[in-house]
Amino acid sequence: MLQMDYLSINEKGRLSMKGHDLIDISEKFGTPIYIMNEKSIRNSCKKFVNAINKYYDSKGLVLFASKSLNCKEICKIINEENMGIDVVSGGELYTAIKANFPMSKVHFHGNNKTPEELHLAINSGVGRIVVDNEEELKMLNNIAQDKNKICNILLRIKPGVDAHTHEFIKTGRVDSKFGITMKEGITLLENIQRFKNINFMGFHCHIGSQILDSRPFILAASIMVEFISKVKSKTGLSTQELNLGGGFGIQYTENDKYLDYDKCIKEVSIEIKEKCEDLKLNIPYMYIEPGRSIVGSAGITLYKIGNIKKIPGIRTYVAIDGSMADNPRHIMYGSEYTVINASKANIKPNKLVTIAGKCCESGDIISEDVLLADPEVDDIIAILCTGAYNYSMASNYNRTLKPPILMINKNKLKTIVKRQSLEDLISLDI
Ligand SMILES: Cc1ncc(COP(=O)(O)O)c(C=O)c1O
């Protein structure tokens, strides 16, 4: 079963979220619309935070990977859940600043940070800059020197772990634009003292996304601890911190395996502790960066059906009022979703259809070959598990408007991101 206990079917046979009829919501707020369940976000945060406290003796911090969903309200929730945030651009950083997020708990990533972004990061006092390469280290050192500041850094390393996932979202292998190899890392650290305004704290790695198996995480942790030992023997440097990145998968459909985050963190913690004991190393402070696993299952998107095209013997297209512009994951990764006819949630799904977006692209498909209950024009359909990498990846392609985000918390409905207007769309045109 998908982990979405906040959805149910009400007495009208419609889908509802925590007692709120989703058809009523679609009429009041319009479609397309992203809807998030606050309790579900908070529960996922607690799962990771509790696991680190329980199995890693509270010597770690969970950072929310804000690339998965970033807006001021999410930053506020993450802060209230005693987590940090990782950002990958000046824009994500600026959002955290404007949300009054404690900057000491922000890690700044990116494989090609601009000087402007590094200025903003240093000026705002981010906790760690995750340095991607030697060029960046030089630039950061120069900027920090001009400002008379010392930057605490982690070095991004490719642990070479090939987590089984979609080709485009693998980032931990040697053939990756992110980070440097272990060999390059050692060479860089042999001369780290020439960077006078840099304080080396440790390493970062990230092995991929939507991983539904704890073994690649354990393997990466093991490789990184061995690497820490090698760094110590070759350079004399001790590593205080280890950031293992994110990538904890969620169940998009019933075919996806279930990853038990608590068990996964437990196994990773045991691996690090045992390996450190064997290699006579101090146990590093641990960071993890879950994104999808915090917000993915906490969100759904509602769309309205505009027309239905039956192509005899081939397929039936159900056209919705959204598109690849608000959900580009299918066209990018071939991602699959669970789709429900929210207007007829009490009817067993019985028609095989393909959900098509309204963009001027044949590939603009949201979900291919899914079963939907008696779809008709004006029905509201819900695409589940769209809390991560939907709003954050949304574009204005074809000059479509970005949908709003509505947060549901018990009896409260709160718009946390407004719907874009046509005037917003042209506001930067000259
Ligand atoms: C460096 C880094 N950290 C964290 C994440 C978050 O990954 P996920 O949302 O799969 O947990 C990503 C995503 O690709 C990433 O590149």
Among 243, 260, 295, give the residue marking a domain's end: 295
Residues 122 and 266 both lie in one domain: yes
Number of H helices, E strands in the chain: 12, 20
Cα(101) to ligand 1 centroid in Å equals 20
Under 8 Å between Cβ of 205 and 244 = yes
Segment 66-86 shows an average pLDDT of 98
Is 343 inside any structural domain?
A: yes
Range of the domain at 203: 38-295
Cα(304) to ligand 1 centroid in Å equals 31
Element (H, E) at 46: helix 38-55
pLDDT band at 167 (very low <50, low <70, confident <90, very high): very low
Cα 373 from Cα 344, distance rounded (Å): 6
Q: Which residue has the tokens 């634009």?
A: 177
Residues 356 and 276 both lie in one domain: no
Residues 246 and 372 both lie in one domain: no
User: Is the beta carbon of 66 within 6 A of some atom in ligand 1?
Assistant: no
Residues 330 and 367 both lie in one domain: yes
Test site for ligand 1: of 154, 157, 161, 206, most ligand atoms within 8 A of the Cβ: 206
Is 368 inside any structural domain?
A: yes
User: Is the beta carbon of 243 within 6 A of some atom in ligand 1?
Assistant: no
Q: At what angle do helices 72-80 and 38-55 cross, to 10 degrees?
A: 40
Is 164 inside any structural domain?
A: yes
Q: In this model, does residue 339 exceed pLDDT 80?
A: yes
Residues 402 and 288 both lie in one domain: no
Among 295, 330, 360, give the residue marking a domain's end: 295
User: Is the beta carbon of 392 within 6 A of some atom in ligand 1?
Assistant: no
pLDDT band at 163 (very low <50, low <70, confident <90, very high): confident
Under 8 Å between Cβ of 33 and 301 = yes
Under 8 Å between Cβ of 108 and 66 = no
Among 260, 295, 330, give the residue marking a domain's end: 295
Is 83 inside any structural domain?
A: yes
Residues 176 and 85 both lie in one domain: yes
Cα(179) to ligand 1 centroid in Å equals 14
Under 8 Å between Cβ of 288 and 52 = yes
Is 429 inside any structural domain?
A: no
pLDDT band at 417 (very low <50, low <70, confident <90, very high): very high
Test site for ligand 1: of 69, 131, 289, 386, most ligand atoms within 8 A of the Cβ: 289
Residues 52 and 18 both lie in one domain: no
Q: In this model, does residue 310 exceed pLDDT 50?
A: yes
User: Is the beta carbon of 68 within 6 A of some atom in ligand 1?
Assistant: yes
Under 8 Å between Cβ of 158 and 323 = no
Other Cβ atoms less than 10 A from the Cβ of 99: the count is: 18
Cα(208) to ligand 1 centroid in Å equals 7
Which CATH number belongs to the domain containing residue 61 in this structure?
A: 3.20.20.10
Nearest CA to ligand 1 atom 12: 246
Structure tokens at 229: 């030992």
User: Is the beta carbon of 32 within 6 A of some atom in ligand 1?
Assistant: no
Segment 156-181 shows an average pLDDT of 74
Active-site residue (options: 45, 264, 276, 360) = 360
Cα(147) to ligand 1 centroid in Å equals 31
User: How does DSSP assign 78-99, residue by residue?
Assistant: HHHTT-EEEE-SHHHHHHHHHT
pLDDT in tens, 185-231: 999 999 999 999 999 999 999 999 999 999 999 999 999 999 999 99
Under 8 Å between Cβ of 31 and 321 = yes
Is 1 inside any structural domain?
A: no
Q: Which residue has the tokens 């708990």?
A: 105
* DSSP-derived 3-state class of residue 34: strand
Element (H, E) at 371: strand 365-372
pLDDT band at 254 (very low <50, low <70, confident <90, very high): very high
Cα 5 from Cα 18, distance rounded (Å): 9
Is 426 inside any structural domain?
A: no
Nearest CA to ligand 1 atom 16: 206
Cα(22) to ligand 1 centroid in Å equals 30
CA-derived radius of gyration, the chain: 23
Which CATH number belongs to the domain containing residue 344 in this structure?
A: 2.40.37.10
Residue 160: per-residue pLDDT:
85
Residue closest to 246 by CA, chosen among 388, 113, 129? 388
Domains: count for the chain: 2
Cα 86 from Cα 67, distance rounded (Å): 8
Nearest CA to ligand 1 atom 4: 246
Q: In this model, does residue 168 exceed pLDDT 50?
A: no
Under 8 Å between Cβ of 79 and 109 = no
* DSSP-derived 3-state class of residue 265: helix
**Residue 1: exposed, middle, or buried by beta-carbon count in 10 A (0-12, 13-18, 19+)?**
exposed
**Residue 328: exposed, middle, or buried by beta-carbon count in 10 A (0-12, 13-18, 19+)?**
buried
Test site for ligand 1: of 45, 62, 64, 68, most ligand atoms within 8 A of the Cβ: 68
Task: Tell me the one-letter amino acid at 91.
Answer: G
Residues 201 and 329 both lie in one domain: no
Under 8 Å between Cβ of 327 and 344 = no
Structure tokens at 172: 């931990």
Q: Is 151 a catalytic residue?
A: no
Residues 79 and 131 both lie in one domain: yes
Residue closest to 304 by CA, chosen among 323, 278, 283, 290? 323
Nearest CA to ligand 1 atom 10: 247
Residues 214 and 307 both lie in one domain: no
